[in-house]
A and B are shown apart, each in its own frame.
Chain A
Amino acid sequence: MIKRILLLALLLAGMATAQAAPAGYGGTLRMVTVSASGTFDPQVNYTLRYAQLFQMLYDGLVTFAKTGGPKSVTIVPDLATAVPVPTDHGLTYQFTLRTGVKFSNGQPVTTAAVVHSFRRLFKVNSPNAGTWYDVIVGGRRCLAHPRSCKLQGLVVDPATNSITFHLRHPDAEFLDQLALAFAAILPVNTPDHNMGTRPVPGTGTYMVKSYDPSTGLVMVRNPYFHQWSALAQPKGFPSVITYRFGLSAESQVTAVENGQYDWMYEDVPADRLNEIATKYTKQVHITPTNWTLYVPMNVNIPPFNNKDARLAVEYAMNRESTVKLAGGNRLAIPTCITLPPKMPGYSAYCPFTKNPGKHWSAPNWRLARHYMKKSGMIGQKVTVITSLQAPYRQIGVYTQDVLNRLGFKASVKAISPNIDFTYIQNTNNHVQISITDWAQDYPAPSDFLNVLYSCNSFHKGSDSSINISGFCDPAIDAEMSKAELFSLKHPNQADAMWSHIDHQITRRAVAVNLFSFERLDFVSARLRNFQFSGEFFFLPQLAKIKP
């Protein structure tokens, strides 16, 4: 009898618990990746791997909507009550800070924390402090003298919770830049140095419980979090999120297949694609991204300081072949232009093909040989620099093959992915041609065209010279500035201007654009409600874990 009473009591208790946790909430989401990604300071780290975590740990004044689909690239208010319309000819942005929000250490979010966070951004030498945030009045001075940074252009009123930014010049992408983790609001007592492996408290739905760069991290619910906006910072479904470091991509696939992990960060290796597409079809998610693979040619040194030599390569490269090396047509879309298909301003165009028009059809070897002969570069030595990673290495070998067929004496140098990206940027390394990629920081055409091809992005002798081709045309720069200004008031017309600029740069043949990537996510059988954001990719907090 007593046993029956106890059993009934347990059943009732179980039902009560089940009622307390709404459907889908709870459980542990287990993620896996090959390694840590450096510092865990949100104002310093510039990797997608951690941006994906920061978006659920920290908040800025505004953010990209945390949802799947096209809405995920729209800006929504986060710690601010509304997204402001700029005034004073685009020079002033005024926000009002939400009340009642607390950091995971219990401290309240105040205007003082906002000021501290923006000054800190310069003090910790945030990677984009000099390219994005120096547009705030006083930003240039902060760059020159970070210790004494005052940032006069940021004015707050604690009484009304108002926050006002005064800019040096109108910047159509200022809100995009505020929506990224660099502009996260941190506690007022956060030290003014790179925090390395010590996570800083945030306002997000989760907080870091433990972090060890050699093994992994554990995130649990932030006890002070309450949902103020389901789009800006939704209450996450999993109670705990773990991220294990140290498994190779091959091992990750096996682990996800076996249900040991729920999601893997790395791309699924090419030789496992058939396996997962055959046996685990329902666990595969493919989504287009604003991420492109291209082959910059250095326009300042031989042989590619000769436009005809560049045109020869453009006409000879078989985009469809390189797509095969990336896993086939489901994972890559051939292209000739810089902007990826989902980016505003994209307008299909391909002059370097057998039948010039909108899309690439086949290499044009007749024209390729014609331009090669015209260039007088036959017999010139060329070294292709590429990363050891797939598919970059394979594309490097293919590019070498094409160059040799054109008449160059080509060799390929595959180097560690850890140094490849900075190596190809530095003009001291005399890189002639390389294989690299670019993914958006935020969905704006200037994040591709201005960043990759403006004179301002070219810095001789620097590891941080993202204009790898070294292309600089003040006339095109002027057009880009005009398009940026135009996008403040007439976004549609600005898109047409960006499209025109993209086609102009394409005709200058400064880089062979090969394809834009589609992202493949492979998840465990117990993961439900997979949501993919155009900005942050997989959104772990929205995943539901089947017990």
Chain B
Amino acid sequence: MTEVKQRPAQGYWALALRKLMRNRSAMISVLVLVLIVLSCLSAPWYAKYVSHTNPFQSNLSGTIMRHGHAVEVLGAADNPLKLGIEPIGPSGRLGPYMLGADQQGRDVAARLLYGGQNSLLISSIAAIITLILAGLTGIIAGFFGGFIDAAITWALDALWAFPVFLLAISLSVVLIAHGLDIGPLRLDASSLALPISIIGIIYVPYVARPIRATVLTLRQSEFVLAAIGIGASPWRIVWRDILPNVISTIIVFAPLIIALNLLTEAALSFLSIGVQAPAASWGTIIHDGESLIYTRPLVAIAPGLLIVVTVIALNILGDGLRDALDPRAKLRL
């Protein structure tokens, strides 16, 4: 008799990971994201050993050697009226000013890498804030119901009633102008914590409401009713029965919220109410490039392309995660 070999039973997370790894698009996205993150982390090294410039310092009167000649970083345009100044163009090879200079004579490539650090940092930390706050409010509202649910739902509805960008812009204008000073909490106007907090808060209702809906369903499930029946404390039920069942939803949300945050940060920085100069983010670099769009379009296009690639990668990863963790989900994010 042949013995039937039984595969050892796989846990939920191991199964999900296997599913995710079999998803080719999701894996390519992960690869792209890792590449972008590693490139951005290499910014200080790039500035020191490749571009040999300080990307946060204006270099309006500087010169560099190109093809054996000293060239002004910001030189007079070549026209009969001697009108206008043009930043040096892309050199096309690894070295100083590979992607050219911006209006302050700074190396665009180096700023892109530093800008990426800020953009990714802000969008990731803001996403963590969003997911924690949304998870907490969604679970508490859904599980406890009654007045608590009504109050939280009302607050989330009120927050969601504001157009997201209008709310973000309003908060930014107020906070970027004077910083935040509430008792012991003091945040400087140029602190990255300000855009992080603003972006972290505005998307809470977007995530909290589907979590609440999931918890409302779970609340009526047999295993939760049984746990209540044997006298388990509410917090124990939340911790042991509810949270494990909503965590997959939260994980699915993570890359999508990071993508949304990336776009929001870029928009706020483009409007000069996000990351403050001389620090950079992809949004501020697009803003810097706006006034060079006819002469040096690469200054605005390069960060724009990076945002597009990162957001697409995050969205594909989000889809992959959803398929792996929650294949029956009707929710399309």
Contacts and interface: CB of A to CB of B under 8 A. Distances in A.
Contacts of B61: 318, 320-321, 324
Given A270-B85, A273-B83, A324 B74 contact: yes
A269 B295 contact: no
Nearest to A402: B58
A466 to B, nearest CB: 22
A97 B51 CA distance: 72
A324 B77 CA distance: 11
B77 A273 contact: yes
Given A331-B83, A401-B104, A271 B291 contact: yes
Interface stretch (B36-44, B271-279, B312-320): B271-279
Contacts of B295: 271, 274
Interface string B271-295: 0100011100000000000011111
A278 B79 contact: yes
Interface stretch (A103-111, A290-298, A409-417, A436-444): A409-417
A412 B58 contact: no
A276 B83 contact: yes
Nearest to B279: A411
A527 interface: no
Contacts of A390: 291
Given A277-B83, A281-B80, A330-B83, A401 B190 contact: no
A278 B77 CA distance: 10
Contacts of A383: 189
A330 B77 CA distance: 11
B223 to A, nearest CB: 55
B81 A400 contact: no
Nearest to A280: B81
A542 B38 CA distance: 63
Given A271-B292, A271-B294, A328-B76, A281 B60 contact: no
B245 interface: no
A385 to B, nearest CB: 10
A284 interface: yes
Which applies to chain A's interface (DSSP): helix, strand, loop or mixed? helix
A511 to B, nearest CB: 21
B103 interface: yes
A269 B292 CA distance: 9
Nearest to B176: A413
Interface residues of B, number: 33
B292 A388 contact: no
Given A411-B276, A413-B176, A272 B57 contact: no
Contact of A398 (B60, B79, B189, B291): B60
B58 A398 contact: yes
B82 interface: yes
A122 B243 CA distance: 71
A520 interface: yes
A396 B292 CA distance: 18
Contact of A321 (B58, B81, B83, B294): B58
A275 interface: yes
A286 B296 CA distance: 25
B177 interface: yes
Contacts of B78: 274
B278 A397 contact: yes
A400 B74 CA distance: 19
Interface string B75-95: 011111111111000000000
Nearest to A397: B277
B104 A415 contact: no
A329 interface: yes
Interface in A327-364: 327-331
B104 A397 contact: yes
Contacts of A329: 76, 82
B294 A328 contact: no
Contact of A328 (B57, B83, B177): B83
Interface in B290-322: 291-296
B158 to A, nearest CB: 27
A394 interface: yes
A415 B189 CA distance: 13
A325 interface: yes
Nearest to B289: A271
A327 B82 CA distance: 10
A262 B328 CA distance: 63
Contacts of A284: 81, 83
A331 B278 CA distance: 26
Contacts of A281: 79-81
Q: Rank and list the top 9 A-B pairs by shortest CB-CB distance, nearest first.
A: A273-B84, A321-B60, A277-B83, A277-B81, A274-B77, A277-B79, A271-B294, A401-B58, A273-B83
15 contacts: A269-B291, A270-B84, A271-B84, A271-B296, A274-B83, A276-B83, A284-B81, A286-B81, A320-B61, A325-B103, A327-B83, A383-B189, A401-B57, A401-B278, A411-B189
Given A318-B61, A329-B82, A405-B57, 10 more contacts: A269-B291, A271-B291, A274-B79, A281-B79, A321-B61, A324-B61, A325-B85, A328-B82, A330-B82, A404-B278
